[in-house]
Amino acid sequence: MKEILVIYYSQSGQLKEISNNLLSSLAKNVDYNITYKEIEPVKSYPFPWKSDDFFNVMPESVLGVKCEINEVDFEKNNYDLIILAHQIWYLSPSIPFWSFLQDDKYKHIFKDTKVITLVGARNMWVMALKDISKRLKEIGAKHVGNIVFIDKHNNLISVLTIIKWMFTAKKGPYKNLPEAGVSTKEINYASKYGELIKTAFENNNFEDFQSKVVSIGGVPINFAVKITEQNAKRIFKIWANKIIKKGEMENPKRLLLVRAFKNYLLFLIFAISPIVHILFMLIFYLLYPITSKKISDISLLKL
């Protein structure tokens, strides 16, 4: 019997749905036992979000400041595979998920254990993967896979729909805009990755698991988006350090700067990013041997 542990946090339930579908065939198989553990912040983050709250979590997300989470109890000390289902907040692992992963109290379950990270995000997840991968190395986990579910619509469309979704809790499709987040079709087809997990267990070999995930489209990645992310994270850190100096999340003294950050971010997204996107795509094609290798390395977890 193979023991699979799924640790997840999800405000809308999207990541739970993806995890369920991904593991649907294993769940019906008597050779596998799947346990789900939810990460629960002591003080839950609002969903749907209010605008100020949404932008106010940026500093703590980017600087990796932990929140308090309810104790997570594990029935076993060892699992054959751990799946970490998480989302991205401001190019960083979400605060609740990061608070769990950073907690040394839980590091024993990761020691020498195979881990697959499962991302459900808008479209910018690479910078967060680097942090997560570093932490997994630190605690002795074997990071054997990374499966990514994103919104595949145009960047600006996906910004508009995610704002609608986050602020209303309604995923759409809306009158003039498509469904927000990961499409229902992609969620429904998530079981194809579960089949790869089953094969890897049957062959007792996870060595080529990630390349198989990549070959069936499990790591959508775009060079221009990746470079945008890299630059944006640097800018976010500057704002985060400024805002956090004004006090903790609840401190109203932060609000003025948080609102300035919101306006700055919307300006970056809608006025600057379309232009730099074209520039970064040009760089991608001009330096193709180097840039395509970079993308391939990230996909294959050679970070």
Ligand X SMILES: Cc1cc2nc3c(=O)[nH]c(=O)nc-3n(C[C@H](O)[C@H](O)[C@H](O)COP(=O)(O)O)c2cc1C
Task: Give me the residues that bind ligand X (CB under 6 A), please.
Answer: 10-12, 14-15, 54, 57, 87-91, 120-125, 162, 166, 181
Report the DSSP beta bridge partners of residue 6. Answer: 36, 83
Nearer to ligand X, 56 or 113 (CB): 56
Q: How far is CA 277 from the centre of its chain?
A: 22
Tokens of 163: 């704002």
Roughly what angle, to the nearest 10 degrees, separates helices 288-299 and 223-244? 70
Nearer to ligand X, 42 or 287 (CB): 42
The rounded distance, in Å, linking the Cα atoms of 226 and 59 is 21
Q: Which residues contact 258 (CB under 8 A, 6 or more apart)?
A: 52, 55, 56, 58, 243
Closest contact distance (angstroms) between CB of 186 and ligand X is 13
Closest contact distance (angstroms) between CB of 58 and ligand X is 7
Closest contact distance (angstroms) between CB of 73 and ligand X is 22
DSSP one-letter code for 7: E
The rounded distance, in Å, linking the Cα atoms of 254 and 244 is 8
Nearer to ligand X, 165 or 201 (CB): 165
Q: Scanning the structure block, which residue is given the tokens 């986990």?
A: 141
Nearer to ligand X, 61 or 113 (CB): 61
Phi then psi dihedrals of residue 117, to 5 deg: -90, 140
Environment class of residue 164 by beta-carbon count within 10 Å: exposed (0-12), middle (13-18) or buried (19+)?
middle
Nearer to ligand X, 11 or 191 (CB): 11
Distances (CA, A) of 112 to 145, 174, 201, 303: 14, 46, 16, 19
Nearer to ligand X, 131 or 208 (CB): 131
Of 230, 118, 226, residue with least CA distance to 182:
118
Closest contact distance (angstroms) between CB of 10 and ligand X is 3
Nearer to ligand X, 10 or 20 (CB): 10
Closest contact distance (angstroms) between CB of 68 and ligand X is 18
Closest contact distance (angstroms) between CB of 22 and ligand X is 14
Closest contact distance (angstroms) between CB of 289 and ligand X is 28
